[in-house]
Structure 1
Amino acid sequence: MASMTMTSAPPPASAVEANRRGIAALQAGDNDAAARHFGEAITADPHSGALYRNLASAWRALGDDGQELAALDAALAIDRRDLMAWIRKGERHEARDEKGAALAAWSAALALGAQLDPVPPPLAPLLAHGRDFVAGATDTMFAAASGAFDDMRGNLTETEARRGEAFIASALGRRRIYRNECAGVHYPFLPADEFFDRGHFPWFAEIEAQTPSIRAELQALLDDPGEALRPYVRMEAGSPETIWSGLDNRLDWGACFLWEYGEPNQPVLDRCPSTAAALAAVPGARIPGRSPSAFFSMLKPHTRIPPHTGVTNTRAIVHLPLIVPPGCGFRVGGETRSWEEGTAFAFDDTIEHEAWNDSDDLRAVLIFDVWNPHMTARERDLLLRYFASADASGYAIPR
């Protein structure tokens, strides 16, 4: 496809005339003459990427791959944003079975094409082919890398396996790596784990063993909740429309708090003695006015909790699933899990997460917070002193 790009200064008349002759020769099938005329045009106007692309078209018609690629590289040396040059490079490298070079060229073309809105109709099939090529290439690379990873998986720790899987998937564009987004206190340099390894919580087995009695207490509570059950989302009057508006003051996402911001909800604790005892045995954070919080979380059928992030990365949020019908799911960052009744897990809620219940039945989970396992005992003590000094100053922001 021959072309002529207008620049801020008009091209020399000799370049325009030589380019016109080159286009005419190319259309007439006189490819040698076309290459000669485009060469003359470039001599007169050596800073025109369009002329180099036209020359590349002539070399393609002549079947000279090397000269075509040299002309396209010259066009890109003038403007790295030359979409057509990248497309032509992708086509030529692909035809030569130069897979790595083709992948690089098609990837560059797709990145530039993504900025077009709308995509010109002549470019649409070219970019679609590029997407297919890149998808096929990454599928092949992912399969090869996954096979190599599987060969060594048995020698890896849980942490190494999780990081390795995330690395391979992110390196090949199959998953996003999420960062902490704290609405409150952010403690620097803690690892941004989506789900924490079970090895950090050796006491999980003890609370998991209490699942039947905890579930029975929850069921009794739900049979006669009184004032214990309330909407989890309760926006302040005058709040603007947000992602939470659809759940505001609705029991679609309901909660029965046993502890809230470090304060016990004694009437609920009294009705749930096994749950209270199980929570008391957990080595959780005790921060006056802030932690722990523990509650039964109920999600009604066909309800979704939108993607959101939490307050502070100094804590880990633990889920102990109690009632989980089919069709429920939970995503933290790039990993999605299904709850399994009686199997606890912990995650960093300052990484984007969401939950859903697509079933026709209620989903219920016991949720509570503990220290982020990556914080040392001295760091925890520092945080306690920080909050104590903030409270003593009189400037601590009230909840």
Structure 2
Amino acid sequence: MTPEIESAFAAVRAEFGTESIGRVERMLEPGGQERHPLQKAARWIMPGLSPTPWHDPYAYPELAPVVRELEAGHEAIKEELTAAWTARREAFSDYEHYLTRQENWQALHLYRAGALVAESAAITPTAYRVLKDVAVDTETICPLLECHVSTLLPGAVIAPHCDLWNFSINLHLAVDIPDGCSITVAGERRTWEEGKCLLFDYSFEHEARNEGDRPRTCLLVDLWHPETTVPERRALVALVTGIRRLMEDG
């Protein structure tokens, strides 16, 4: 670790106690942690988090308000995004995942690089307001990642992959779902129910496909895993931010 990361960890220990970030430190030990076979491609697996691929969106008091407000706003969100797809297509861009870039996977970002994307407020004001009020202002969103509208064009396939870690969790609001769409996590295939949320741990291998005849649209939000603590979150932000800075400088 860099001196900056070490200093940040020391500050967290001083405020919250010497054992407050023990799980983060164990995650970084040589050899890593034991993990499920379908998590092997993830970079980091923090010990002590439930190794559960699919989660009940309403099971966690911290996340339930996000789920409830997004589902309540579904009709307005769908109307706004349908209009934007027709009249403001330039606001969408090819999605750049850390592994790939896909032309048939279009994205509109509402939150990125640790901040709300102000331009998206005029495009989808309902989603922007809900996101700000119940995820950003409450610090439930993981600032290391993002929130975006994810539109898969007909025939698009997101190949099986693991995301980088298990200490954040992915929430999907099903905005506009044609027949023939599916998502598979750790070998379990599900379909989106329009107006409802799905919640899953994307450190497990997952894939998605649109075999329908029109675009599939979801709103994706990267939230802190509800079993992580405040000191752990501070340490993880310092860790990942420091590593990203090193990679940019290198």
TM over 0.5: yes
SS of the residue aligned with 2:122? Answer: helix
Aligned to 2:49: 190
- 2:105 aligned to which of 239, 244, 253: 253
- Give me the whole-angstrom Cα distance separating, in 2, the residues matched to 1:373 and 1:234: 24
- 1:317 aligned to which of 170, 188, 191: 170
8 Å CA contact retained: 1:182, 1:312: no
TM-aligned CA deviation for residue 395 of structure 1: 5.3
Could you say which structure has the greater relative contact order, defined with CA pairs below 8 angstroms and 6 or more residues apart?
2
- Give me the whole-angstrom Cα distance separating, in 1, the residues matched to 2:40 and 2:122: 36
- Give me the whole-angstrom Cα distance separating, in 1, the residues matched to 2:123 and 2:112: 16
- Give me the whole-angstrom Cα distance separating, in 2, the residues matched to 1:313 and 1:381: 16
Aligned to 1:213: 76
SS of the residue aligned with 1:346? Answer: strand
SS of the residue aligned with 1:296? Answer: strand
Matched, 1:337 2:190: yes
Amino acid at match of 1:180: Q
Which one has the bigger helix percentage? 1
Alignment of 1:1-399 (within 5 A): 178-181=37-40, 183-198=42-57, 199-200=59-60, 201-203=63-65, 204-233=67-96, 244=100, 248-250=101-103, 252-280=104-132, 281-282=134-135, 283=138, 284-287=140-143, 290-291=144-145, 293-387=146-240, 390=242, 396-398=246-248
TM-aligned CA deviation for residue 185 of structure 1: 4.1
Q: Which ranges of structure 1 fall in alignment gaps of 5 or more residues? A: 1-176, 236-241
Change in CA separation of 1:263 and 1:396 when aligned onto 2, cut-off 3 Å: farther
- Give me the whole-angstrom Cα distance separating, in 2, the residues matched to 1:185 and 1:261: 20
Change in CA separation of 1:299 and 1:286 when aligned onto 2, cut-off 3 Å: closer
- Give the percent of matched residue pairs that are identical in Structure 1 and Structure 2: 28
Change in CA separation of 1:181 and 1:398 when aligned onto 2, cut-off 3 Å: farther
TM-aligned CA deviation for residue 253 of structure 1: 1.1
- Give me the whole-angstrom Cα distance separating, in 1, the residues matched to 2:198 and 2:142: 20
Say what the alpha-carbon RMSD is for the aligned residues.
2.5
User: Could you tell me the TM-score, scaled by structure 2's length?
Assistant: 0.73
User: Could you tell me the TM-score, scaled by structure 1's length?
Assistant: 0.47
Q: For this pair of structures, how many residues does the alignment match?
A: 206
Q: Which ranges of structure 2 fall in alignment gaps of 5 or more residues? A: 1-35
